[in-house]
Amino acid sequence: MQFRLEKRAEVSRPMLYLTPVAAVIITMIVGAVIFSLLGFNGAIAVREIFLTPLTNSLKWQDLAVKSAPLIIIGVGLSIGFRANVWNIGAEGQYIAGGLAATGVALITHQMSGWWLLPLMGIAGILGGMAWVAVPAFLRVRLNVNEILTTLMLTYVAVQLLNFLVFGPWKSPFSFGQPQTVMFNDDQILPYIIPGTIVQAGAPIAILVAIFAWIMMGRSIFGFQVKTVGTAPDAARHGGFSNRQTVWITLLIGGGLAGLAGMLEVAGPFTRMVPQFPTNYGFTAIIVAFLGRLHPMGVMLAGLVLAISFVGGEVAQTTIGLPNPAVGLFQAMMLFFILAGDVLVRYRVRRVYHKKATGRDSDKKAGAEAGAS
């Protein structure tokens, strides 16, 4: 007896929506088992990571702060993934966006005015776009795989960041600390909900997701992206350029990652420091897949991942769970969602091993095929 995967005639809709939920639940169960084996109280670890951030209203503002960059980047990546364009270097574009915004902030440090933040925002977007333009050019012109180039450029971005904050951009008042000067008041995002730490990132994330939803669902561009991703030959026949799609989707992904970088550096960080890369760009890949590459799903998934970040910090203080544990949970989530994807397109069927003379077993297998 053995198992076989059989392609479904049609994509299973229930599975499409059930698998992300199932992935989160299985992650909780397996996580609880693993941490129990490691000598922690697994059930409490899971509760602290996944439930406390929701039940403790003091943590809600943290969720808003953490989920905003994940959603902004995740929405951008999901558009590319829909077109089978695999930008996995959003982290690098996020850093490049942060650096571009920092550059503008340093140049305009002596100035004031409402226009400084929008200018930094534009710089952030352009920075992210510039960083992804290299892989886009290489992919379109020379057919270089963008998975490799986007990822490799992430490490270049990290080195560039270090070079700048250790060198030309180092603040003269930092007592040797590798960091830039603090931005001036007009270069730092204001708190939009009084008494909280929520800045412009959260509402921007919601706007980005809604805009992407309409664009992907209703516009001819969204249609183009889906067509190129689903059936490249049909897209060509329909008059949609593959190259153009690669360019635009990569620029959107890079631009949104760059915008997230600007919102972070002008928000929580208020200056550029070597600790700026916080893996938002990589985590956003999980967000995009967990959200089924749908802008609204990405919003929910961004929240789930933010919960795990915030909950990880809670668990660290309450039960002394090591910080990498959060990474373990997030990785499991991605693993289970991708494994679950198989069930969307295939179903598992039991087959009986056929012997050369096994007439009965043949009959059984045949009957089973008939029944399914």
Partner 1 sequence: MQENERPRLQVRGISKQFPGVLANDRVSFSVAPGEIHALLGENGAGKSTLVKMIYGIMQPDEGEMFWNGQPLLVSNPKAARSRGIGMVFQHFSLFEALSVLENIALGMDGSLSMGELEKKVREVMQDYGLMLDPGRVVSSLSVGERQRIEIVRALLLKPELLIMDEPTSVLTPQEVTQLFETLRKLASEGCSILYISHKLHEIKELCDTATILRGGKVVGECNPAEETSKSMAEMMIGGSLKEISRGEDGALGDVLLKVNGLSLGRNHDFGTALADISFEVRRGEIFGVAGVAGNGQNELLEAMSGEMPAPREDAIILHGRPMGLLGPNQRRKAGLCCVPEERNGHAAIGDFSLSDNAVLTARHRKGLVKSGMVQGRAAEKYTREIISRFSVMATGPMAQAGSLSGGNLQKFIMGREILQVPEVLVVSQPTWGVDAGAAAFIHQALVDMAQAGSAIVVISQDLDELLALCETISVINEGKLSRAMPIKGVSVEELGLLMGGIHGTEETGERDRVENGAEKNGSGGIKEGKADAVQA
φ and ψ of 322, to 5 deg: -65, 150
| Closest distance of CB 188 from partner 1, Å | 36
Q: Which stretch binds partner 1 (CB under 8 A): 87-95, 113-121, 133-141, 216-224?
A: 216-224
| Closest distance of CB 368 from partner 1, Å | 10
Contact 337, 290 (CB under 8 A): yes
Q: Which is nearer to partner 1, 11 or 37 (CB)?
A: 11
> In sequence order, which residues have a C-beta less than 8 Å from that of residue 149 and are 6 or more positions away?
89, 134, 135, 138, 139
Q: Which stretch binds partner 1 (CB under 8 A): 108-116, 233-241, 263-271, 307-315?
A: 233-241
| Closest distance of CB 250 from partner 1, Å | 20
Q: Which of 191, 211, 323, 207 is nearest to 266 (CA)?
A: 191
- Binders in 262-281 for partner 1, by CB under 8 A: none
φ and ψ of 27, to 5 deg: -60, -45
Can you tell me the distance from the alpha carbon of 235 to that of 277, in angstroms, rounded to the nearest whole number? 37
Q: Is 218 in the site for partner 1 (CB under 8 A)?
A: yes
Question: Using CB under 8 A, which of 220, 331, 342, 348 touches partner 1?
Answer: 220
Q: Is 10 in the site for partner 1 (CB under 8 A)?
A: yes
Q: Which is nearer to partner 1, 152 or 351 (CB)?
A: 351
DSSP code per residue over 308-369: HHHHHHHHHHHH---THHHHHHHHHHHHHHHHHHHHHHEEEEEEPPPPTT-HHHHHHHHHHH
| Closest distance of CB 142 from partner 1, Å | 17
Can you tell me the distance from the alpha carbon of 70 to that of 330, in angstroms, rounded to the nearest whole number? 13
Q: Which stretch binds partner 1 (CB under 8 A): 41-49, 96-104, 180-188, 219-227?
A: 219-227
Q: Which stretch binds partner 1 (CB under 8 A): 54-62, 182-190, 218-226, 320-328?
A: 218-226
Angle, helices 242-264/60-82, rounded to nearest 10 degrees: 160
On the 0-12 / 13-18 / 19+ scale of CB atoms within 10 A, 36 is middle
Q: Is 369 in the site for partner 1 (CB under 8 A)?
A: yes
Q: Is 38 in the site for partner 1 (CB under 8 A)?
A: no
Question: Using CB under 8 A, which of 25, 234, 331, 342 touches partner 1?
Answer: 234
| Closest distance of CB 246 from partner 1, Å | 17
Can you tell me the distance from the alpha carbon of 136 to that of 144, in angstroms, rounded to the nearest whole number? 9
Name the token pair of 230.
């689903």
Question: Using CB under 8 A, which of 1, 2, 3, 11 touches partner 1?
Answer: 11
Residue 338-357 contact track with partner 1, rule CB under 8 A, x = bound: ----------------xxxx
Can you tell me the distance from the alpha carbon of 89 to that of 128, in angstroms, rounded to the nearest whole number? 10
Question: Using CB under 8 A, which of 4, 236, 243, 350 touches partner 1?
Answer: 236
Q: Which is nearer to partner 1, 155 or 350 (CB)?
A: 350
Contact 62, 69 (CB under 8 A): no
Which chain residues interact with partner 1 by CB under 8 A? 9-11, 218-221, 223, 226-227, 230-231, 233-234, 236-239, 241, 354-359, 362-363, 365-367, 369-370, 372
